[in-house]
Structure 1
């Protein structure tokens, strides 16, 4: 049975985008052309692959099974074509990254403008997702996560700040009203603004001082989904609702303005920064190779020569950091 690869690519694009219009914009084609491609594929296979309504498009059971198998195969084909282009010295194409909101907020802004200026033929497609995903199944070339979230078979390259801290903070009005904690255990007597991962788990708050690590599980009047609603927790803290626990870099502008005051600062625990990761058992697409080379060469990518010389990094397990 002869199947057009373009029709298979159209099916994968529509499923990934969740609709014909969005997929058409991504591929610079028309929704009707993609609809025709999927219909041809369904006719050749003799099964329905997509359920279509006026509001949504979703794979059928057969379609989902095919798309799962298609993802790695199409990625390999794209990588092979990109490798040929790279031999001509012109990396081009789309680089799809899956990143947590913390990376979108704190890491990529220092990198993306310079990278796109250096590689004008490369387009970046950034998916912000705080869950842990299968990169190939999701149609992404690489992702950004912290070391404890990385599978052992992934290649990991340092990106962004190599040392970060999770900070606690509250508004001066709240602290004047409720008092200022001097030890992490004091948080148990305070209103704390909590975060929940998409999986449903709620990470403990972890602190460290003079080699002593303290973990607490405070309570409070507000819980937000880590990632999508973190700014709500920050706004609530500024409004005097309670104490927030978040990346120091995220809260620093509010420290500078006086809207928030650091809490328990001597106890803020440092941890290693994020990594760009990608599967090791596949061709590296030219846009991804260009991005890897860029973050190794640029000072915002890594902070030490030793780190920039590594093509992979050891994975050290720590408590969850992909929050906010």
Structure 2
């Protein structure tokens, strides 16, 4: 009940912010298309990588699938481990840069870079993204935005509040490339989580994190994935031995990252993310796909072969 109330308040705020876009869009659209396209200094030949149709990610207006492909991707997390990393130039040299929710780049370019080709956004972060629209939405003609959310908020029959707001946002800012994760694809993600962990997401009172969706999408669209700021699964097992960093690099006074991970992992009442469980899956996927972890730098441990049979 509390979750529904909170979501209702968020959606009221979203409607208010969207309405304000009517008054600011004309002033921002005065830039020439060339100015908007080159505004972040990272022009990519989109045609060269629009080769694969990624089913389940559909555009908000015409419901066409997302078409993109990258040889190499930098998946930049929002972790406090990025602070002071100096990885910005390295990240910006990657063909495609993927970010999550409302993670900013302005003022943090030295550590996290400034280019963004794909941003994966939870429905609950929509209001914050709109609040920071001058940085995250304006001048983002070459960025794909993929939104995810519960089925009742994303339904396309006129009753999906988030879906309706995204359509309005697209109408106000028509050059934005806005996509949603379809209902069948969301169910596939639930089944994937159950297959990989043996846990039913709903029965365990958990929500898949934006990181889960982002990693899965990256595997579909990228040949190589460099993940920045993601700790290994056992990193927070003894948090007193690890340096304390904030959950978000752009909220230095916010909750400690390991505290957030452990609290959610152990939570049994209400809705929680299983951050540590998801990271165990990511470590497994790193053995199967071309995934590499930096800041901190780590790799999955080798699989121990318990087969003691010897040839006679």
TM above 0.5: no
Larger Rg: 1
Higher relative contact order (CA closer than 8 Å, sequence separation 6+):
1
Higher strand share: 1
TM-score interval for Structure 1 and Structure 2 normalised by the shorter chain: under 0.3
